[in-house]
């Protein structure tokens, strides 16, 4: 099973991925966790450019294609092999985030992004997508480190991102869950765990 967690930075993705991983491992599953962009040599190099190399100007389409290239490598090197070996894959973000950040909020054509995304992923999509839904103001108070290239885009951009996730999530996976991420860590984990367990029973 391929599970993706998404939502704006600070919504709690890393926290919930760690908890879900521990839960699934306690059931005896082999779990492989990745981040998109990242988790391959190429993906981490692209991630560094996308988030931290502000000395390298990026046109919107070039930025979008770098995310796609990182994802293509991630699918080929990591996700496909892990799924083929029988592991459960949990990914911190996937194609949906690209559609939302660069398309809905960034102004690129959303249908084009889904279509380029199909090419980049070879048609692989998460079985389950979980959105951690949080107001950008609340997410910002949780982030302690300095802002990266994307985080500097301001609150109006992130409001569009938040709505974009809600609007596009059904195109990301056949099964999706939107969780109110303002609740306690335990409450959110319990909702995600229950949902994922139910999907596994249904498979
Ligand atoms: P993300 O991976 O989405 O950027 P993190 O999991 O790194 O988010 O969480 C960002 C910060 O918010 C961390 O300090 C984390 O401990 C805290 N945090 C995560 N979930 C919650 C929550 N439900 N309530 C309050 N703080 C949280």
Looking up residue 30, the CATH number of its domain turns out to be 3.40.50.300
Q: What tokens appear for 82 in the block?
A: 């892990």
> Given this model, what pLDDT does residue 202 score?
75
The alpha carbon of 129 is separated from its chain's Cα centroid by a whole number of angstroms, namely 8
**Cβ contacts of 108 within 8 Å, gap of 6 or more:** 60, 61, 64, 102
User: Using CB atoms within 10 A of its CB, is residue 145 exposed (0-12), middle (13-18) or buried (19+)?
Assistant: exposed
> Structurally, how many domains does the chain consist of?
1
Average pLDDT over residues 111-138: 97
What is the rounded end-to-end Cα distance, in angstroms, of the chain?
A: 9
Using CB atoms within 10 A of its CB, is residue 149 exposed (0-12), middle (13-18) or buried (19+)?
A: middle
The pLDDT of residue 144 = 75
Distance 7 CA to ligand 1 centre (A): 11
Whether 194 has a pLDDT exceeding 90, the answer reads yes
Mean pLDDT on 38-64: 97
pLDDT score for 200: 87
State residue 184's pLDDT score.
Answer: 98
> Is 189 near ligand 1, meaning CB less than 6 Å away?
no
- The string of pLDDT tens digits covering residues 142-186 is 987 777 777 778 889 999 999 999 999 999 999 999 999 999 999
> How far does residue 19's CA lie from ligand 1's centre (Å)?
12
Place of tokens 């999907």: 199
| 61 pLDDT more than 90 | yes
Confidence of residue 201 (pLDDT cuts 50, 70, 90): confident
Q: Residue 59 pLDDT more than 80?
A: yes
**53: Cβ below 6 Å to ligand 1?**
no
Range of the structural domain that residue 91 is part of: 2-202
CA of 197 to the centre of ligand 1 (A): 23
Mean pLDDT, range 191-202, rounded to an integer: 93
> Which residue out of 4, 6, 8, 10 has the highest number of ligand 1 atoms within 8 Å of its CB and is therefore the one to mutate?
10
Ligand 1 midpoint to CA 10 (Å): 5
């Amino acid at each position: 099973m391929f599970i993706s967690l998404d939502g704006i930075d600070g919504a709690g993705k890393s926290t919930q991925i760690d908890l879900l991983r521990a839960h699934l491992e306690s059931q005896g599953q082999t779990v492989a966790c990745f981040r998109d962009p990242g988790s391959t040599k190429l993906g981490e190099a692209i991630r560094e450019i996308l988030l931290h190399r502000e000395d390298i100007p990026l046109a919107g389409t070039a930025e979008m294609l770098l995310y796609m290239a990182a994802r293509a490598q991630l699918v080929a090197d990591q996700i496909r092999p892990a799924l083929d070996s029988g592991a459960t894959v949990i990914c911190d973000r996937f194609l949906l985030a690209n559609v939302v950040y660069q398309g809905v909020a960034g102004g690129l054509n959303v249908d084009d992004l889904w279509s380029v995304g199909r090419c980049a992923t070879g048609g692989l999509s998460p079985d389950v997508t979980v959105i951690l839904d949080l107001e950008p103001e609340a997410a910002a108070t949780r982030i302690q480190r300095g802002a990266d290239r994307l985080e500097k885009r301001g609150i109006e951009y992130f409001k569009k991102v938040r709505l974009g996730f809600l609007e596009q999530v059904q195109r990301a996976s056949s099964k999706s869950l939107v969780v109110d991420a303002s609740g306690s860590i335990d409450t959110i984990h319990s909702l995600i765990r229950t949902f994922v367990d139910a999907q596994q029973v249904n498979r």
